[in-house]
Amino acid sequence: MIVKDKNQNDIMDQKLLNSFEIDYNFKNKPINRFNNKPTIENINERLNALKTKINNITNCNLKNNAKQLVFSDGNSNSPIMIVGEGPGQKEDEIGKPFVGDAGQLLNKMLSAININRENIYITNVVNFRPPNNRKPEPNEINRYSEFLREHISIIEPKILILMGSTAMEALFGSKIKISKERGAWKELIINNKTYLTMITFHPAYLLRQADQKKYSWADLKEIKKKIDALKLKI
Binding site for ligand URA (CB under 6 A): 84-88, 91, 97-98, 100, 102-103, 124, 204
Q: How far apart are CA 90 and CA 162, in angstroms?
A: 21
Q: Say how far apart CA 69 and CA 94 lie, in whole Å.
A: 10
Question: Which of left, alpha, beta for 15 (phi over 0: left; psi -120 to 50: alpha)?
Answer: alpha
Q: How far is the CB of 19 from ligand URA (least distance, A)?
A: 50
Q: Which is nearer to ligand URA, 78 or 124 (CB)?
A: 124
Furthest C-alpha separation in the chain: 96
Closest separation in Å from C-beta 84 to ligand URA? 3
Do 111 and 70 contact (CB within 8 A), yes or no? no
Which is nearer to ligand URA, 17 or 67 (by Cβ)? 67
CA pair distance 42, 50, nearest whole angstrom = 12
Residue nearest to ligand URA (CB): 84
Closest approach of ligand URA to the CB of residue 119, in Å: 18
Which residue number, 85 or 150, has a Cβ lying nearer to ligand URA? 85
Minimum distance, C-beta of residue 151 to ligand URA, in the bound complex (Å): 14
Residue with Cβ nearer ligand URA (129 or 154): 129
Q: What sign has the CA pseudo-torsion 170, 123, 62, 178?
A: positive
| Minimum gap (Å) between residue 28 Cβ and ligand URA | 52
Of the two residues 18 and 116, which places its CB atom closer to ligand URA in the complex? 116
How far is the C-alpha of 219 from the C-alpha of 130, rounded, in Å? 28
